[in-house]
Copies of this chain bind each other. A is one copy, B any other.
């Protein structure tokens, strides 16, 4: 993946100084416009140096033919022009080829991604090679590999983005994005205006969230914004930490993110179903992680109770867009919408200005601001997504790709579970999708798989014994008979998982 590269100044010269030895040069040593004697012998074509069939070279004055005289030593302008033109061609071809090779590192003759990754692996204390290839994440799998479907690493989307060519490519000069500030007139002063615009544009295009009248905030992933929301909604002067709840099965990270610093402002209080109290922050994830259920707040907002809506999966590839979500705080992430998890960009749509201000303050104290490079990257990617549905020339339709992919994978999974006979899955549900203008099924990013074999109480342990790594239901406030399986990985790993699952009895 030699996308990071340096272009030397020589490549931009285009001044003919990159003439390779193979260029064909035609020039007369004596200049002049009239054909020489050799030229006449050659039917009027200029003589090639060293190719005089008569064994010599001379200039035949033009006066014999036309009576006009030209200085004998000047090279004809035409020949100079041909020379320069050919030189420029070669320089241009070299430049274009270099750019093509850099943009397409799989081009034969370029070091493969795996080779580059090995070169790049850090050796403690070594000076390091001049390698600059980005990492490729986890290594590939074989039929014997341990298949890790524990994380929601969205590598499935890579195939789509490879097809888009340079539609989502970003170039950042060395002198750009250096300062801290983006737009000091905005509540979120470190947010890049282009990112703000692309977020709004995408939501209007998809129709999955009411964005007008909302503040857009950017974060280093939606995980940071989740903590920012807890910080913003917890009274600073409260005697007790505010309780944070969510309906089981809830996302396994909610308790960890809430409690890892043992904050005096907020504290995890478990399943919303069993919560008693007036002051709380309810985390509502819909479609839900892990089981894909479509959810509303259980406790709701009102009085001292607040809700934060995590809509990471509310996109057409996973679920029909049945309405424009319209809540006080809505969180989204690049990781699950476009697959760009490594960019670490999430955003929040926030109605209340004071809440937006406090969330911004959290980010400021946590990481000062949010990487401008990442924001520009995200803006570029979001633009490419919207362009695909903008009625223009782009034919790259992310949600179409995603929907087909998820539908296929769920079909394979249901078949494998049926073939196995010891697993069950949530019921298939569907709805009217306003974005695609058709009925669409729910094909969640995760499969909430249950092992029905009586003697298997710990499904994650059972699957681990068959070299399939999943996340146990007990991390989600549910029974260990359940596991969460990522549906977003690469094809090779997913296919091996399906084959293995179908064979389990």
A contact residues vs B (CB 8 Å cutoff): 1, 3-7, 9, 12, 14, 33-35, 39-41, 43-45, 62, 65-66, 68, 70, 78, 82, 85-86, 88-89, 91-93, 95-96, 100, 102-103, 117, 120-122, 124-125, 127-129, 131-138, 151, 153-155, 157-158, 161-162, 164-186, 192-194, 196-198, 200-201, 204, 212-213, 216, 220-221, 223-224, 227, 231, 253, 256-257, 260-265, 335, 339-345, 362, 365-374, 376-377, 379-381, 383-384
Across the interface, A193 reaches (CB within 8 A) one of B121, B137, B256, B371, namely B121
Q: How far is the CB of A341 from chain B (nearest CB, A)?
A: 5
Q: Is the CB of B341 within 8 A of A179?
A: yes
Given contacts A85-B85, A172-B169, A365-B257, contact A370 B384 (CB under 8 A): no
Chain B residue contacts of A260, Cβ below 8 A = 231, 362, 365
Q: Is the CB of A168 within 8 A of B164?
A: no
Q: Is the CB of B370 within 8 A of A201?
A: no
Given contacts A4-B376, A344-B370, contact A122 B223 (CB under 8 A): no
**A373-B341 Cα distance, complex, nearest whole Å:** 11
Q: Is the CB of A383 within 8 A of B182?
A: no
**A9-B396 Cα distance, complex, nearest whole Å:** 14
Q: How far is the CB of A177 from chain B (nearest CB, A)?
A: 4
Across the interface, A179 reaches (CB within 8 A) one of B102, B137, B200, namely B137
Q: How far is the CB of A433 from chain B (nearest CB, A)?
A: 23
Across the interface, A45 reaches (CB within 8 A) one of B4, B33, B91, B379, namely B33
Residue of A3, A103, A133, A154 contacting most chain B CB atoms (<10 Å): A3
Known: A43-B62, A157-B178, A261-B261; 20 extra A-B contacts, CB below 8 A, are A4-B172, A6-B167, A34-B43, A40-B65, A121-B183, A128-B197, A129-B197, A132-B383, A133-B194, A138-B184, A161-B175, A167-B174, A169-B173, A178-B342, A223-B368, A224-B366, A256-B365, A261-B265, A263-B264, A366-B366
Q: How far is the CB of A440 from chain B (nearest CB, A)?
A: 25
Q: Which residue of B lies closest to A225 (CB)?
A: B367
Q: Is the CB of A377 within 8 A of B153?
A: no
Q: Is the CB of B373 within 8 A of A371?
A: yes
Given contacts A131-B197, A171-B170, A342-B180, contact A213 B124 (CB under 8 A): yes
**A117-B93 Cα distance, complex, nearest whole Å:** 36
Q: How far is the CB of A19 from chain B (nearest CB, A)?
A: 13
Given contacts A128-B201, A260-B365, contact A178 B162 (CB under 8 A): no
Q: Is the CB of B194 within 8 A of A134?
A: yes
Q: Is the CB of B367 within 8 A of A367?
A: yes
Q: Which 3 A-B pairs have the closest CB atoms?
A: A168-B174, A92-B92, A262-B264
**A181-B171 Cα distance, complex, nearest whole Å:** 23
Q: How far is the CB of A469 from chain B (nearest CB, A)?
A: 13
**A128-B382 Cα distance, complex, nearest whole Å:** 14
Chain B residue contacts of A193, Cβ below 8 A = 117, 120-122, 131, 135
Across the interface, A135 reaches (CB within 8 A) one of B168, B183, B362, namely B183
Q: Is the CB of B174 within 8 A of A169?
A: yes
Q: How far is the CB of A45 from chain B (nearest CB, A)?
A: 6
Q: Is the CB of B132 within 8 A of A380?
A: yes
Chain B residue contacts of A374, Cβ below 8 A = 344, 371, 373-374
Q: How far is the CB of A110 from chain B (nearest CB, A)?
A: 13
A-B pairs with beta carbons under 8 Å apart, 12 shown: A1-B176, A121-B193, A127-B204, A128-B200, A170-B172, A174-B381, A178-B343, A220-B220, A262-B265, A342-B369, A342-B373, A344-B367
Chain B residue contacts of A125, Cβ below 8 A = 200, 212-213
Across the interface, A7 reaches (CB within 8 A) one of B91, B124, B132, B166, namely B166
Q: Which residue of B lies closest to A5 (CB)?
A: B171
Chain B residue contacts of A362, Cβ below 8 A = 260
Q: How far is the CB of A6 from chain B (nearest CB, A)?
A: 6
